[in-house]
Amino acid sequence: MSENYSIPAPKKHPLSLQIDPALFEKATDEEKKQTDVMAESTTFFKDGMRRLRKNPLAVFSFWVLVVLIMIMLFAPMVVPYSYEEIITVEGVRDKGAANLAPFQYSAKEQAYMDKYGVRIFPHIMGTDELCRDYFIRVVYGTRVSFLVGIFASLMVLVIGTIYGAISGYFGGKVDLIMMRIVDIIYSLPDLLVIILLSVVFKETMDFSSVPVVGKLGTNMVSMFIVFGLLYWVGMARMVRGEIMGIKQNEYVLAAKSMGASGSRIIRRHILPNCLSVIIIMTAQEIPAAIFTESYLSFIGLGVALPMPSLGSLANAARSGMQSYPWKLVFPAASIVLIVLAFNLIGDAMRDAFDPKLKN
Amino acid sequence: MSEPETKKSEYLVEVKDLKEWFPVKTGWFHTTPLKAVDGVSFNIKAGETLGLVGESGCGKTTVGRTLLRLYEPTGGEFYFNGELVTEKNIHPLRKQMQMVFQDPYSSLNPRMTVEDIIGEPLDIHHLYSSRQERHDKIMHLMELVGLNAEHATRYAHEFSGGQRQRIGIARALAVDPKFIVCDEPVSALDVSIQAQVINMFEELQEKLGVAYLFIAHDLLVVRHISKRVAVMYLGRIVEIADTDDLYDHPIHPYTLSLLSAVPIPDPKTARASKRIILEGDVPSPLHMPSGCPFRTRCRYATEQCAKEAPALKDRGGNHFVACWNK
Ligand SMILES: Nc1ncnc2c1ncn2[C@@H]1O[C@H](COP(=O)(O)OP(=O)(O)OP(=O)(O)O)[C@@H](O)[C@H]1O
Ligand code: SF4
Ligand SMILES: [Mg+2]
């Protein structure tokens, strides 16, 4: 060591921990400043995403969802069948194509292929009792589930966050009254109310004249509304609780002492600090909504025919369960896959963005 | 100020008989007022510092927050620059009064960059005409408090306690205030950094001519920076005097005990034999003793102390004491 330095190091025991001060030089001001701030600059979001990417289950679920979404978006362009029409061979309805097994062809299709030496697009999941391609019906059912899940949780997000933020921010009597309303809604038996509301909406509302929305069908729209009306309470409670805590921080007082308005304090100080809770709640709301939609469709209150939904497909498959079990397996597996993937991602997000909540 | 100079006084801050009682639920239908601040009066001249000292829980923070109308006062008046501060005229006055908080961790929003934290008062009062001007102002402020301007885009959690407190000070200075309430700005910091930060407060005062209400729970900290010092006990000021006078000739028994609790650097000169040790705890502000609030712990307490609360009386040379027997 000592050869490298002009100052000879004093002789000492090889195991001695004594340090030779001559080997050190004073830190310059610049170097001192560098130690002032040592951690690498990360934002809250980057930090959370980094932790999220480290979670293998989350990454796997993410890719599962990506694949599902890809199939959902592109399958209808690739598959030459429609979800509501009977399979046709050479322009003629193929009455013999009912209840085919996966990758099986009907007699007419087989004859057609032999005659021209071409291959017809296979029925990946077979066909249903009305001679419709089952795969494309499951794909459309998945689309419906996704739409309902995402729109319903968006509604929950908006209503719940605004309501919870107001209640938590103002506190006192406002909070008392607003939270009693939440308690009332919370104590209603969800499914009973959902069923009642969806029956009422089915009878009284007609959205077919409204642009965009009308296309989705009255049932689907009323479904969003039903979810929105019922499930925001959980979100509102969480947001309120979080805000009650955040409000105690001195930075909120600091903003008040500077003269910040209530809405500024909510927007700039309170909401960004409960963002993690909001994101996590929303991520967990999606599978809940998907599940409820499937449930409702299963008991016949969901989306209107001929639009398929995973729940109504499963319901229709119930009757032929012994002879054609795959018809129940495909939509059921699809529901399980979606709900599981969303739940795993939701949990991983919770762990990544808000480790406090983990228990 | 172009207002008619009818009430111009020599003081920037005049507080008269300030009261802040918090209603506390003590039963199903009972609320008892918690007299956190009970009749506090003091004055501060422009560019000067009043130190406010007292044990934990005696209402120092509440005084500061009530002045800035973070709490609605229960009673009393506060004149700022000769103008009575009310709920109506507080908003424009917030440009002239600011606060530095006790906890450097919870007083900065963890989701905001330093630039946005310091720029917030500028945003609220629309004190710039262009993005560039805002940026320049913030850079100037960071330099003023000794922060590296390169760190403007960082988040508060990346800084040490001392640096965070500097950010808090820069934020308070952004609107160019005349008066800053400093609520124990150094008690959460390392002793080695405390001195640095206090020196910075002094330098800033010299440069900018800002007045401070400097709150601390320890007399040593305020001695350095204050022109006058007020000692608080259970929501009242028990002694207020010019700094040297108070330290050299303390009169109130509570001040005496506080001063004797201050560690003395040189043990040879230690007033060990004269050390007065305070016995017992501070009574709960919900159950204040009758008469003099310090009575339960005072060695000089007499019958009169239990009957009547002593008022602050001038003992000569602007040295006020609230005590019957000393
Ligand atoms: N918002 C409030 N509601 C009810 N009581 C309060 C409130 N704020 C403070 N108090 C009470 O008022 C009293 C004085 O509190 P304050 O925070 O002013 O003391 P302090 O002198 O600043 O103490 P510390 O040195 O611990 O900061 C305490 O008993 C406290 O419990
Ligand atoms: S008034 Fe009485 S109890 Fe109060 S400090 Fe003076 S001597 Fe003590
Ligand atoms: Mg305090």
Average pLDDT over residues A134-157: 86
pLDDT of A218 reads 64
Catalogue the E-assigned strands of chain A.
Answer: 88-89, 92-93
Average pLDDT over residues B244-264: 85
Collapsing DSSP to helix, strand or coil, A208 comes out as coil
User: Do the Cβ atoms of A241 and A160 come closer than 8 Å?
Assistant: no
Nearest to B151 by CA among B167, B174, B162: B167
pLDDT-derived band of residue B1, with 50, 70 and 90 as boundaries?
A: very low
On average, the pLDDT of chain B sits at 87
pLDDT-derived band of residue A359, with 50, 70 and 90 as boundaries?
A: very low
Give residues with Cβ within 8 angstroms of A179, minimum separation 6.
A167, A237, A240
Poorest-confidence range of A210-214, B55-59, B172-176, B180-184?
A210-214
User: Do the Cβ atoms of A338 and A290 come closer than 8 Å?
Assistant: yes
pLDDT digits (tens, 9 = 90+) for B135-157: 999 999 999 998 988 888 888 88
pLDDT of A8 reads 53
CATH 1.10.3720.10 residue ranges for chain A? 134-357
For A43, nearest residue in chain B (alpha carbons): B155
pLDDT of B2 reads 45
pLDDT digits (tens, 9 = 90+) for B264-286: 555 555 544 456 667 777 788 88
Interface test with B, best of A258, A271, A277 (most B CBs within 10 A): A258
Average pLDDT over residues B184-196: 87
Question: How far is Cα A194 from Cα A296, in angstroms, rounded to an integer?
Answer: 9
Q: For A79, how many CA atoms within 13 A lie in the half-sphere containing its CB?
A: 23
Q: Which long-range contacts (CB under 8 A, 24 or more apart) does B261-267 make?
A: B262/B218, B262/B219, B262/B220, B263/B220
**For residue B169, is pLDDT > 80?**
yes
Q: Do A37 and B151 touch (CB under 8 A)?
A: yes
**For residue A155, is pLDDT > 70?**
yes
CATH assignment, A134-357? 1.10.3720.10
Question: How far is Cα B246 from Cα B319, in angstroms, rounded to an integer?
Answer: 8
Structure tokens at A34: 């560098």
pLDDT of B3 reads 45
Bridge partners (DSSP) listed for residue B35: B21
CA of B325 to the centre of ligand 2 (A): 6
pLDDT digits (tens, 9 = 90+) for B296-315: 888 888 888 888 889 999 98
Structure tokens at A235: 């979100």
**For residue B44, is pLDDT > 90?**
yes
Look at A89 and B10; give whichever has higher pLDDT: B10
pLDDT-derived band of residue A67, with 50, 70 and 90 as boundaries?
A: very high
pLDDT-derived band of residue B4, with 50, 70 and 90 as boundaries?
A: very low
**For residue B56, is pLDDT > 70?**
yes
Nearest to B247 by CA among B237, B238, B258, B236: B258
Q: Chain B window 87-106: which residues touch A at a Cβ cutoff of 8 Å?
A: 90-91, 94-95, 97-99, 101-103, 106
Chain B residues closer than 8 Å to A253 by CB: 65, 70, 99, 101, 107
Average pLDDT over residues B92-120: 91
Domains and CATH numbers, chain B: 13-96+177-321 (3.40.50.300)
Interface test with A, best of B65, B90, B111 (most A CBs within 10 A): B111
% of chain B surpassing 70 pLDDT: 92
**For residue A157, is pLDDT > 70?**
yes
Structure tokens at A38: 């040592």
CA of B183 to the centre of ligand 3 (A): 7
pLDDT of A16 reads 59
C-beta of B226 in contact with ligand 1 (< 6 A): no
